[in-house]
Amino acid sequence: MNLKPLSLFTMPLLAVLLFSQSPVAFADQAKDNIKAKTEISASSVTLNWDKIGTDYKVYKDGKLIGETRENTFVDTTVKPDELYKYHIVVYDGDQLIDTVRISTKAKSSLDNSSLKKVNQINVPDMTIESIAGSDFVTLNWPEIPDDDNVYEVYRDGSLLASVSGRQFNDENVTHSTTYRYSVIGKKKLSEDEIKNIKKELDDNSANVVSDEELHKRENTFEAIKFVKTIDSNLEANLEESRLMESNLININSSSPYFSFRYMTFIPDARVPIPFIGGLGYYFLGNNRGFNVLSESYKTQQNIDVTFDEPSYSTYNQRTGVGETVIVDEGWVYQDADTVVCTPSNGKYKLYLLAPNSYGTDLKQFGAGASCGIPFFDNFTPDIDHYYDAWIERDGDWRVKGSHDKAPSHEFYIYDRSSSSYTTIFQHSVLRKPNGEAEFNALLPSWDDTYFDISG
């Protein structure tokens, strides 16, 4: 298918970094803390805070960038779209009394999204900023599309709260621990979108979907942030040569290497063919759960990025597509074939977005796939996913994009320095009330999932 197209607030301990486009007010505090605000542009970050303690140090990405006795600091060395981690350290004389880590990104200088320009997808900026101490995490996010502005906040897959507003404080955390936070908004389909779905169902599908069910359909908007709390030993935080995050790559490597792996698969053993011409027959599924190392999939796309020296990067794309097998009600083999889905025929896509404009420390690219099946070609929509990615030499990354709600989708990033994958997301196939996989979700006008994720 073709996908559719913060003023002041209180931190539990120390500082706050705000999205410049949306003001938030300070709340009352139970004890002396630093209250701060930040103004962010494409070329600077300005930190302002209440005067608590006597001296302050500001670190950016593990490097000391300022010492001051004033309650303001301006960083003019930022670049558009880059992710930054600030570490504000407070002293009372020679005594270290507090510290906090803030993760945010600079604004974009222009809209160079491959999603919007090439695939006509409009994915909103939903990047979460985080403020972490040893015993708290605060999340702030821009406006995420949602019908009632009540967002669901998850941590490591478990629902923490439903939040009215754009801030959440988590005080039930452990020091030196990495958490995966997710903020979800949902927006029901418009009447025009429902009308388009009905037409596509009439043209392509053997399944009947009621008006009631169609009016329950909603696009999902998910912002995800990986956050690591700081060490409870404040001195230990200052001894680190880098502010280590869960996905930090060893910057001493002569050629830092990253690989983004995106796979789709059918988790069932078999699924009924839902399209005209397939009644009474089944597609064999991959019969598996989420598994980054699985060799059984419908589609697989790997984008490899190597930060070569001194001033260029190497990009490589590796793709694969699984065989489609048809059986009848008694599991008797009927037919099998493999769709031609390759970069050369445009089904797998890789766009290098201004690869030299960010220098040697940040690279941006767009990627995605639109792969169908080798049967019922006039009736079956494609499996689609698209994303933009930002990857920095030190291992910070961000992905932003959209995907169908069928089949199951899984997305990972590989870290060569640790020889391991980090899960970006795992989304299960949408299911009908009777438990069957909902492959109408492949239709062009059906609701989709939009994501903005940073590590």
Determine, yes or no, domain membership for 97: no
Determine, yes or no, domain membership for 201: no
Determine, yes or no, domain membership for 310: yes
Determine, yes or no, domain membership for 1: no
Top mean-pLDDT range of 152-166, 209-223, 263-277, 387-401: 152-166
Q: Has residue 264 got a pLDDT over 60?
A: yes
Determine, yes or no, domain membership for 329: yes
Determine, yes or no, domain membership for 335: yes
Q: Has residue 429 got a pLDDT over 90?
A: yes
Q: 376 in the Ramachandran plot: left (φ > 0), alpha (ψ -120 to 50) or beta? A: left
Using pLDDT thresholds of 50, 70 and 90, give the confidence band for residue 152. Answer: very high
Q: What tokens appear for 123 in the block?
A: 């994915």
HSE at residue 64, side-chain half, CA atoms within 13 A, is 11
Q: Has residue 252 got a pLDDT over 60?
A: no
Angle at alpha carbon of residue 362, lines to 361 and 368, rounded to 5°: 150
Using pLDDT thresholds of 50, 70 and 90, give the confidence band for residue 205. Answer: low
Determine, yes or no, domain membership for 289: yes
Cis bond before residue 310 (omega within 30° of 0):
yes
Sequential DSSP letters for 360-381: TSEEEEEEEEEE--SSSTTTPP
How confident is the model over 102-146, as pLDDT tens digits? Answer: 888 888 765 555 555 445 557 888 999 898 888 889 899 988 999
pLDDT of residue 415: 82
How confident is the model over 21-61, as pLDDT tens digits? Answer: 333 333 333 345 566 677 888 888 888 777 888 999 998 88
Domain count, the chain: 1
Give residue 369's domain range.
Answer: 250-454
Backbone angles phi, psi at 98, to 5 degrees: -170, 165
How confident is the model over 365-410, as pLDDT tens digits? Answer: 899 999 988 887 666 788 999 999 988 887 889 999 999 999 999 9
Determine, yes or no, domain membership for 192: no
**Secondary structure percentages of the chain, helix, strand, coil, to 5:** 5, 45, 50
pLDDT of residue 12: 37
